[in-house]
């Protein structure tokens, strides 16, 4: 159990650094390029992620699970064969889907997005796909052997290069009158940073192979064990990225029906998806780290039939995720609008934080829940949950956002509705598995604590006297007291944290 906690803690610190650097990048991008360029970039970025998901086909998560099981069984000699098979599958998918993506770009840019100039940014995004696919394979390998430091450092390196390039390179090549080209330059910067990150990963991969004395595989691992995990996982991820891919299209179309012009709608989408949602998800480094660690950790516990270890890891991951969600929801519900204005100089849209913050508590538990479903053999039900949530989000978005009286507020409500549907379906699916021994209380009490904080904090401690940082800290302390009264945070948790830090 201690190795699971230590591994998670190391990844949390690394992902926090990545998130922080990514946050700095977004602030710089907004200030340097402006709202319209960010809007074009954010409408093109989901297409890049969708094209990448087509090429990856869920193989990285399958590598992590298969290699983790081989490690538990002491069959390390087969790992090289697994990587050979995974690489073969990825090459085949790249040959099929990358040319198809290139041919699809003109229709996507002109007809679906309604902005032919965004094609340049889309082409730059496709150029990133093969580089990112290679990185995904290596990350899956390191995740499987529980060497998460390499993955974390690669992400930190990538973000540092992105910040440096966006700060010093973009202002030099920036075009004041061509926002679409500025978005393409930003996508090109992402390509360069991704390339540096993958080179680092490949270097560490070769080092690890020599250290573990892995020989070059003469034969490939069977396709079936990898595809049996990859295809259900890819189904969920593909649909998730496909709904994200459709999101800007439906958003822009619905707002045009409500009477908002294309330029204004694109800028609004850039603010919502490029500012508000990333700000809400900034503390998500904890659930993300848990999601990454959970698949091999729970798979290993299940493979060794250790039911006690399985339940301990699941309960700890869900409790930490729920607590993180409670703190994030409380801070962003009370102070979110001011944070958006101070950090990003955003004058419109900050008020939507009060709508999204209570809902995004459930986003914080969504990733760990899906990782648990994958690791316990419920990947297919988890995939269907994501499908239902995605359909619900897009349907509600089109109906509400096209109403003249709602417009972008309807789109924000739809985003929250999709999160709720997927998260509650994941909870219901997991409760059917008696081996997890998980109930609703693990989520209900932290959420109740958030509600009490949102209501009582302004009453007992008036807001606005301590400055923004001081107010956020005071809100967090107020919530912490309530959580301790509900016994969701215990004194033993602090002792465990102290022991962990001392050990590291």
Q: Residue 377 is inside which H or E element, if any?
A: none
Average pLDDT over residues 306-311: 73
Structure tokens at 348: 């419109």
> Is the pLDDT assigned to residue 175 strictly greater than 50?
yes
Per-residue pLDDT at 435? 67
In whole angstroms, what separates CA 338 from the centre of its chain? Answer: 24
Residue with the larger pLDDT of the pair 385 and 346: 385
Average pLDDT over residues 84-91: 89
pLDDT digits over 119-172, tens only? 999 999 999 999 999 999 999 888 888 777 788 888 889 989 999 998 888 888
SS3 426: helix
In whole angstroms, what separates CA 49 from the centre of its chain? Answer: 11
SS3 144: helix
Per-residue pLDDT at 371? 83
- Give the start-to-end residue ranges of the domains of the chain: 2-503
Structure tokens at 12: 């949390």
> Is the pLDDT assigned to residue 194 strictly greater than 80?
yes
Structure tokens at 479: 């919530």
Per-residue pLDDT at 178? 85
Name residues whose C-beta falls within 8 Å of residue 496's C-beta, 6 or more positions apart in sequence: 5
Name residues whose C-beta falls within 8 Å of residue 406's C-beta, 6 or more positions apart in sequence: 258, 400, 413
CB 426 within 8 A of CB 374: no
> Is the pLDDT assigned to residue 504 strictly greater than 50?
no
Per-residue pLDDT at 489? 83
Per-residue pLDDT at 491? 66
H helix and E strand count, the chain: 19, 0
Residue with the larger pLDDT of the pair 502 and 73: 73
Shortest CA distance to 208 belongs to which of 67, 8, 86, 69? 67
Per-residue pLDDT at 221? 65
Gap between the Cα atoms of 59 and 83, Å rounded? 10
Taking the model in full, what pTM does it have? 0.78
pLDDT band for position 395 (cuts 50, 70, 90): very high
SS3 119: helix
For 381-386, the CB contacts below 8 A with 24+ separation are: 381/429, 382/232, 382/236, 382/426, 382/429, 383/232, 383/233, 383/235, 383/236, 383/239, 384/425, 385/422, 385/425, 385/426, 385/429, 386/236, 386/239, 386/240, 386/422
Per-residue pLDDT at 227? 77
Computed over every residue of the chain, the mean pLDDT equals 84
pLDDT digits over 256-295, tens only? 888 888 788 888 888 888 888 888 988 888 888 777 776 6
CB 365 within 8 A of CB 321: yes
Gap between the Cα atoms of 171 and 177, Å rounded? 13
pLDDT band for position 398 (cuts 50, 70, 90): very high
> Is the pLDDT assigned to residue 447 strictly greater than 70?
yes
> Is the pLDDT assigned to residue 215 strictly greater than 70?
no
Q: 212-221, 232-241, 345-354 — which is least confidently predicted?
A: 212-221
DSSP secondary structure string for all residues of 263-296: HHHHHHHHHIIIIIHHHHTGGGHHHHHHHHHHHH
Per-residue pLDDT at 153? 86
Gap between the Cα atoms of 141 and 151, Å rounded? 10
Q: Residue 23 is inside which H or E element, if any?
A: helix 2-33
pLDDT digits over 35-71, tens only? 888 899 999 999 999 999 999 888 888 888 888 888 7
pLDDT band for position 503 (cuts 50, 70, 90): very low
């Amino acid at each position: 159990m201690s190795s699971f906690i230590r591994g998670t803690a190391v990844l949390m610190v690394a992902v926090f650094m990545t998130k922080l650097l990514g946050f700095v990048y977004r602030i710089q991008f907004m200030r340097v390029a402006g709202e319209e360029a960010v809007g074009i970039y954010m409408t093109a970025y989901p297409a890049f992620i969708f094209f990448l998901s087509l090429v990856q086909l869920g193989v990285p998560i399958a590598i992590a699970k298969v290699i983790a099981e081989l490690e538990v069984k002491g069959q390390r000699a087969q790992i090289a064969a697994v990587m050979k098979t995974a690489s073969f599958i990825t090459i085949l998918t790249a040959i099929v889907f990358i040319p198809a993506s290139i041919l699809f770009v003109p229709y996507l840019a002109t007809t679906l997005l309604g902005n032919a100039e965004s094609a340049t940014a889309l082409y730059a995004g496709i150029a990133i796909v093969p580089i990112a696919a290679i990185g995904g394979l290596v990350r899956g390998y390191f995740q499987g052997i529980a060497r998460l430091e390499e993955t974390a450092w690669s992400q930190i390196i990538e973000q540092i290069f992105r910040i440096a390039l966006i700060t010093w390179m973009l202002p030099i090549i920036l075009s004041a009158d061509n926002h679409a080209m500025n978005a393409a330059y930003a996508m090109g910067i992402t390509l360069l940073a991704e390339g540096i990150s993958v080179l680092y990963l490949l270097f560490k991969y070769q080092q690890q192979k020599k250290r573990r004395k892995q020989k070059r595989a003469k034969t490939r691992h069977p396709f079936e064990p990898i595809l049996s995990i990859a295809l259900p996982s890819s189904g969920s991820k593909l649909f998730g990225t496909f709904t994200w891919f459709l999101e800007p299209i439906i958003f822009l179309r619905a707002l045009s029906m409500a009477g908002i012009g294309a330029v204004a709608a694109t800028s609004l989408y850039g603010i919502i998806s490029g500012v508000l949602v990333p700000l809400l998800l900034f503390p998500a480094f904890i659930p993300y780290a848990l999601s990454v660690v959970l698949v091999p950790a729970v798979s290993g516990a299940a493979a060794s039939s250790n039911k006690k270890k399985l339940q301990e890891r699941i309960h700890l991951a869900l409790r930490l995720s729920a607590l993180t969600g409670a703190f994030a929801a409380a801070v962003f519900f009370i102070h979110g609008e001011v944070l958006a204005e101070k950090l990003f100089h955003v004058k419109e849209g900050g008020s939507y934080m009060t709508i999204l913050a209570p809902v995004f508590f459930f986003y914080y538990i969504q990733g760990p829940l899906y990782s648990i479903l994958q690791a316990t053999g419920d990947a297919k039900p988890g995939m269907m949950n994501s499908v239902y949530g995605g359909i619900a989000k897009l349907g509600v978005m089109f109906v509400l956002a096209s109403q003249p009286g709602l417009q972008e507020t309807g789109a924000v409500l739809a985003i929250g509705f999709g999160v709720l549907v997927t998260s509650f379906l994941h909870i219901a699916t997991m409760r059917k598995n008696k081996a997890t021994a998980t109930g609703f209380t693990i989520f209900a009490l932290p959420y109740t604590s958030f509600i009490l904080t949102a209501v009582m904090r302004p009453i007992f401690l008036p807001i606005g006297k301590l400055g923004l940082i001081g107010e956020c800290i005071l809100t967090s302390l107020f919530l912490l007291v309530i959580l301790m009264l509900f016994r969701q945070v215990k004194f033993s948790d602090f002792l465990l944290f102290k022991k962990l830090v001392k050990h590291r």
